Amino acid sequence: MSSSAPTAVHHVHRDDYGSRMGMWLFLFTELVLFGGLFIVYSVYRFTHQQEFHIAAQELNTTIGLINTIILLTSSMTAAMSITAMQKGNVRFAKGLVWVTIMFAFAFMVNKYFEWSAKIHHGIYPGSKELLNKPEGEILYFGLYYVMTGLHALHVIVGVVFFLFILRHIGQGKVHQTQYVRLENAALYWHLVDLIWIFLFPLFYLIH
């Protein structure tokens, strides 16, 4: 009499494919949005090279570098959370998501102090101090606030997304064999990281 060992069957939900496809389409629209802004930045930089050079010296490269390290590390913890979930280590996966969120808060705190310093010195859109500067510097700081501000908004959305995922993990909706929502959250976060990797050299390094 022969017996066969039970085989674990992982069901692939059709909704998972739709969810992944929807996320990739959304990420594509985000890339188009920032791609357009990068093109605008490139055009203005080409036509106002000297003013952009002078304006860039107003930014704190150290803070920009710290925020780059923070986001790169947070992308790593987000990716690790998926691996932990795939291995069934739910507690560790949740912990890694929380670490990613804490890195996001650290990024925003740094950004708050950076923006506060600029505003304290009167360098913000519409300020008398900024309007007295050459046109190129006005354009530079206008793009700086728009692009880094839009990126900061994406960081906040990413945090909300991860909090939403944590709730679903607690409810058992995200687990070892059903982790596409966590995967989508991590993909979104990688996009946030990727955008900053372009913003950092454009505003902080290219003098």
Q: What is the DSSP letter of 201?
A: I
Report the CATH number at residue 97. 1.20.120.80
Query: Does the pLDDT of residue 92 top 80, yes or no?
Result: yes
Residue 200 host element (H or E): helix 180-200
**1 within some domain:** no
Asked if residue 8 is part of any domain, the answer here is no
Structural domain range at position 142: 25-205
The arithmetic mean of pLDDT across residues 183-194, rounded, is 96
**Residue 86 placed within a domain:** yes
- Over residues 12-58, the pLDDT tens digits come to 455 577 788 888 899 999 999 999 999 999 999 999 999 999 999 99
Would 66 be classed as within a structural domain? yes
- What's the total number of domains in the chain? 1
Give a yes or no: residue 17 inside a domain.
no
Residue 37 resides in a domain: yes
C-alpha neighbours within 13 Å on the C-beta side of residue 72: 9
Q: Cβ(164)–Cβ(101) under 8 Å?
A: no
Q: Which of 99, 104, 98 is nearest to 170 (CA)?
A: 98
Asked if 55 contacts 137 with a C-beta cutoff of 8 angstroms, the reply is: yes
Mean pLDDT of all residues in 113-131: 91
Q: Region 134-144: what's the mean pLDDT?
A: 94
- List Cβ neighbours of 138 (8 Å cut-off, separation of 6 or more): 130, 131
Task: Using the predicted structure, report yes or no on whether residue 4 has a pLDDT greater than 70.
Answer: no
